[in-house]
Structure 1
């Protein structure tokens, strides 16, 4: 197949702290809603900086045994169920050999594993469940999705820290371009709202030091760190000719993909953004576009001092024409391996609706980051044709997706 083959998105799905379903999260980010975490958590615990997915039952996730899976698997199942339903595809009749699944995840079943360790310490090895590994291994989200939807083509699990979800979409697109698959489901998922995970981020100074509900403040002068979150998002990708023949929904196109590594520091981004810039330029070249063609940027925007400074300077350098910029983590917090997929789906919504959501909780752009056209206050109506979604992560990973309509 030609490397220039057009790959379309025909289905999307999502579950975040705003609720289950893409519409719920889209409305929350459009409204710049302030979400709150569980009120029962004591204020002196590091998980005070968290936003959790609201509890859901079998009405949202039907299926025997799903209630006992680790949340990172449950979230992926919910998102993929929605995406496949929207695509109009029927897993009962498709040729599973020509369908692939790619899941991006940063942590896997850390909640299940830490609970098992506690049980082991307190009650002994005989009390550890034989289902521990099937419910916690990182590749089991992809494996469980394959079983649920009769996918017998390639099954990949991508681990690229907070860029995992975006990289999963890029890998999925490449599987179709290579002719390996006709359809690929890509998903980013993580369930890191776990005390030891929060404690680790707090210890390294990555979490916001604010106790307020509006602590996630991307690109604001008083930003102090991210708010830990969780969730999942999924897309169904197909060749355009195949999708057109069956009258599938057209939710946008994955035009370009770039993935680079800083090779600079375990957790800090390269100060001049060299790796992130290379990812953006690679994605634009892959799409056959120039920087001036970009109308909108969905920023990684973690609300950490170093990341936001580097990313803002990169955006103003590479896109001096001033495309609109938003950062969804103001509402949703940082869902780690899910974030890139969540933001890609929301970017697609911007492209198809012409609505750019505001960056919540940021009253004004840090004066040090002059030139960034960050959408603030209320949504902006425009008609972007090309958008970029940035995703960065520990280990120096940088991923850029270029999308269009």
Structure 2
């Protein structure tokens, strides 16, 4: 495939993540469910919360850096993932002058916002820090601060559950336009508050299964098995010519794989229900076709597809209908990571892209321990992976990634 835009490539130099699986990559096989229990009034819900080691890393980050003690959990998750990504990329402090930051988050500083509001209801006062610490922009600006950038943009995006890909698409556009030399881009979300959990439960979509029973089950049909999770994934992005990348790989044949963002596509359907979507997932269709068009590719170039698939019967079915409309009888292998992480809202697309990079590296994925339409194992060599994301309001986005 050749890029429709230019001979330049947008590559992922490094990546980082934190989720219900901690800061590790997905396991080869899932013997035990990573989900935990959370009490919500008279109910017990499954949640994809951080395990103990990741929680300790978050606590240390807050304790060891005085300015970070006031920050929302959403921001700290992004900082942890961004540090991993820049370390893997080998970026040095002197590389930060032209570094841009672009981060998606559906809800932003959820925990701090609710804390400040609870204080206001209790005594009628609001701390001076409430406004700056709860704006969406503070997510990207604190990550930029932590990365040491002095001259790049710090951009925050919110388009519900496609937010991370909105952020990624913006970073790609800036890099292609020469408006930045490097970008940190991704998504982050820390929505495991009582109020947010109650909102998800009010929709009637929350999973009835116990945490130990792999309660999030994309592609399994009824009942709805949505489970809320928290996490972040970040990517260190650069622009490089095909020739320069080939020379680099020839000089360092044992270096870590470099992933190419070949296409980014977006779709929108103006439907009356802001929580629903069309039965044939028209926004998914637009996004997938746009990503393929940017990459200059065809449906035959896609070997696996990381689904958005949140475990809701209507949402899962609409995405499958969209895939059928785009791919026909040449469908790629359908895979998901939500059954191991839950739905992390604005971070979900970034964590799915991180999962796609892992598929390209290992050529395998863990098998879901429940009846589903997800592929059990690869049916072909995995050269390119398409990743879908969508959210309330009719937004959808797709990214095509390959190994450079």
What TM-score do you get using the length of structure 2 for normalisation?
Answer: 0.88
Equivalenced residue count is 384
| Gap change, CA 1:383 and 1:67, over 3 Å in 2 | farther
Contact 1:388 1:400 in 2 (8 A): yes
Match of 1:369 in 2: none
- Secondary structure of the corresponding residue to residue 167 of structure 1: helix
Q: Structure 1 CA distance, aligned partners of 2:210 and 2:37?
A: 13
Q: Structure 1 CA distance, aligned partners of 2:61 and 2:364?
A: 28
Contact 2:267 2:285 in 1 (8 A): no
- Secondary structure of the corresponding residue to residue 133 of structure 2: coil
Q: Which region of structure 1 is more displaced relative to structure 2, 202-211 or 255-264?
A: 202-211
Contact 1:10 1:237 in 2 (8 A): yes
Q: 2:399 aligns with which of 398, 401, 404?
A: 401
Q: Structure 2 CA distance, aligned partners of 1:197 and 1:180?
A: 37
Q: Structure 2 CA distance, aligned partners of 1:361 and 1:310?
A: 23
Q: What pairs up with 1:106-185 in 2 under 5 angstroms?
A: 106-125=106-125, 128-151=126-149, 152-185=151-184
Q: Structure 1 CA distance, aligned partners of 2:302 and 2:332?
A: 7
| Gap change, CA 1:95 and 1:188, over 3 Å in 2 | closer
Match of 2:191 in 1: 192
Q: What pairs up with 1:201-350 in 2 under 5 angstroms?
A: 201-213=200-212, 214-241=214-241, 249-264=256-271, 265-319=273-327, 320-350=329-359
1:267-304 superposed Cα distances (whole Å, 9 cap, x missing partner): 11221122210110010010000011110100001000
Q: Structure 1 CA distance, aligned partners of 2:347 and 2:183?
A: 17
Match of 1:44 in 2: 42
Q: CA deviation at 1:113?
A: 1.2
Q: Structure 1 CA distance, aligned partners of 2:324 and 2:31?
A: 24
Q: Structure 2 CA distance, aligned partners of 1:109 and 1:311?
A: 29
Q: CA deviation at 1:43?
A: 7.0
- Secondary structure of the corresponding residue to residue 356 of structure 1: coil
Contact 1:9 1:250 in 2 (8 A): no
Q: CA deviation at 1:316?
A: 3.1
Contact 2:280 2:319 in 1 (8 A): no
| Gap change, CA 1:357 and 1:211, over 3 Å in 2 | closer
Q: 1:15 aligns with which of 11, 14, 18?
A: 18
1:94 aligns with 2:95: yes
Contact 2:48 2:341 in 1 (8 A): yes
Q: CA deviation at 1:209?
A: 3.5
Contact 1:272 1:310 in 2 (8 A): yes
Q: 2:362 aligns with which of 345, 353, 358?
A: 353
Contact 2:47 2:227 in 1 (8 A): yes
What TM-score do you get using the length of structure 1 for normalisation?
Answer: 0.88
Q: CA deviation at 1:219?
A: 0.7
Contact 2:233 2:354 in 1 (8 A): yes
Match of 2:370 in 1: 362
1:245-285 superposed Cα distances (whole Å, 9 cap, x missing partner): 69785431100010111111311122112221011001001
Q: Structure 2 CA distance, aligned partners of 1:329 and 1:396?
A: 20
| Gap change, CA 1:2 and 1:176, over 3 Å in 2 | farther
Match of 1:85 in 2: 87
Contact 1:354 1:381 in 2 (8 A): no
Q: CA deviation at 1:167?
A: 2.0
Q: CA deviation at 1:156?
A: 1.2
Note the residue ranges of structure 2 that are not aligned, 5 or more in a row.
none
